[in-house]
Amino acid sequence: MTLPGSLAYDRITRVLGSAWFLLLGLTVTFKLGASAGEPWPSLVSSLCLGVFYLMLAVLVLTRAPAKAHAEGLLPRIAAFVGTYWPWTITFFAKTEGAVPNLASTLCVLTGMIMILVTIRHLGRSFSLVPQARSVVQTGPYRWIKHPLYLSEEIVFLGVVLQHLSLVTVALLILHIGIQVCRILYEEDVLRRNLPEYSSYEASRWRLIPYVW
């Protein structure tokens, strides 16, 4: 049986996206198994990161089909680059200092908890490419429009602290710029396809209340 193009595309991207985060999770797990002699802050930080990657693999695989997608190639490029490319930092050399690893653990744990709370309200409307499914207004969505992006950036900060260097800091700054583009693309597709979104967005901040 031949699947419609959009459905086939959705299934392929779900499987490939889930496989990528599964690979990262296994990579962190194997490194963890071979680094038993490292200080405990480094081990805890790596464990949290491995759990985070496995959680993302499950979320990507189980998300619901979209009602509409952003038009054009740029939104898809921004989504895939912003979602997959930054996490290659996992393959960089690790920071040995206890303070960066403790800060990393705090960021990863905080971001993971925020993601789980957000996903509980977002449900299967979770997506990577800008898509329209429904307007969620409960939980953290009562205060800001993009709590998932904020949560992800906190985790990514934790990953950068775990592999701290000038290169990874530059990647963090670049990633923030890409995430801003993703937010604008997502708002556009929601505005055009879900009429109730206009009234919702008029009364919410994007990421940080009273800032943006």
pLDDT tens-place string over residues 97-110: 888 888 988 998 89
31/140 Cα distance (integer angstroms): 34
Task: Provide the whole-model pTM.
Answer: 0.73
Domains of the chain, by residue range, sit at: 64-201
Tokens of 155: 């985790």
* pLDDT, position 4: 44
1 vs 199, more confident: 199
- CATH code of the domain occupying 64-201: 1.20.120.1630
Closest CA to 21 of 46, 49, 44, 45: 49
* pLDDT, position 37: 67
| Banded model confidence at residue 131, pLDDT cuts 50, 70, 90 | low
CB 112 within 8 A of CB 54: no
